[in-house]
């Protein structure tokens, strides 16, 4: 059973930089998993931020960036703003039509 | 403009069946990869099912044998037929277009399984 791991919670100061990660319970995340990232606020559908590791979706500000850091996928928010306070999810493509979401990270901006 | 609109959610008793629809506009469902993703109350996102443009279908273990994904090309609509529903299937169900290995979302439909 593949588990995709994310930090349950994180906090950042306004204007600060934060890096959220997305790992595997066994093994390393690479670009071959096509990691993507989503932002969700309560009661709303997720918003697509990053796909294929590091490509920003249309309209996403460039203070959101994606990468591979070590053995994990990473989402970095530079210059955090109050309205970045949200839940963030990553998802990995396992191949053969199978996807696995991480448990999500609740980001607090304070 | 690309848009996905889910419908068909509601309250259903355990063991019952329910079908969800997802009407697409701005693109052709049959030429795209499509998914269903759900979110139980207060919980994270869970991938449920996926359909390739060639019609191949895949399911999470939690729904395999109970749920069926399909599409109607003439209506440009994606479906999820859910049978033998359980309390743990209670969730908001999102339809999504998979483009460039990303998910692009509808607004969701709430399914509540309760007696």
- Per-residue pLDDT of A18-61, as tens digits, reads 999 999 999 999 999 999 999 999 999 999 999 999 999 999 99
Q: Which residue of B has its CA nearest to A37?
A: B102
Cα R_g (chain A), whole angstroms: 13
User: Does B102 contact A98 at a Cβ distance shorter than 8 Å?
Assistant: no
What CA–CA distance (Å, rounded) separates B45 from B38?
Answer: 6
pLDDT at residue number A68: 98
- Per-residue pLDDT of A84-104, as tens digits, reads 999 999 999 999 999 999 999
Beta bridge partners of A75: A20, A66
User: Does B102 contact A36 at a Cβ distance shorter than 8 Å?
Assistant: yes
pLDDT at residue number A89: 98
Touching check for A99 and chain B: CB below 8 Å? yes
- Per-residue pLDDT of B37-81, as tens digits, reads 999 999 999 999 999 999 999 999 999 999 999 999 999 999 999
pLDDT at residue number B113: 98
For residue A100, the chain B residues in CB contact (below 8 A) are 47
Share of chain A above pLDDT 70, in %: 100
Q: Which residue of B has its CA nearest to A99?
A: B47
- Per-residue pLDDT of B10-20, as tens digits, reads 999 999 999 99
Q: Label residue A1 by pLDDT band (50, 70, 90).
A: confident
pLDDT at residue number B31: 95
Q: Which residues contact A44 (CB under 8 A, 6 or more apart)?
A: none
């Amino acid at each position: 059973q593949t588990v995709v791991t994310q930090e349950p919670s994180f906090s950042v100061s306004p204007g600060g930089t934060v890096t959220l990660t997305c790992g595997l319970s066994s093994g390393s995340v690479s670009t071959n998993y096509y990691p993507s990232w989503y932002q969700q606020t309560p009661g709303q559908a997720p918003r697509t931020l990053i796909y294929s590791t590091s490509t920003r979706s249309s309209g996403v500000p460039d203070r959101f960036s994606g990468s591979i850091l070590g053995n994990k996928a990473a989402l970095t928010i530079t210059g955090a703003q109050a309205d970045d306070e949200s839940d963030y999810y990553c998802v990995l493509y396992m191949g053969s039509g199978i996807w696995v979401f991480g448990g999500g990270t609740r980001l607090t901006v304070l | 403009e690309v848009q996905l609109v889910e419908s068909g959610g509601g309250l259903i008793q355990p063991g019952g069946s329910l079908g969800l629809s997802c009407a697409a506009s701005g693109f052709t469902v049959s030429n795209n990869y499509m998914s269903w993703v759900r979110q139980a109350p207060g919980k994270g996102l869970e991938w449920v099912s996926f359909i390739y443009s060639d019609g191949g279908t895949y399911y999470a273990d939690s729904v395999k044998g109970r749920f069926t994904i399909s599409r109607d090309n003439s209506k440009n609509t994606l479906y999820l037929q859910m049978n033998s529903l359980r309390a743990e299937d209670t969730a908001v169900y999102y339809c999504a277009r998979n483009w460039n290995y990303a998910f692009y979302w509808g607004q969701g439909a709430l399914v509540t399984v309760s007696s």
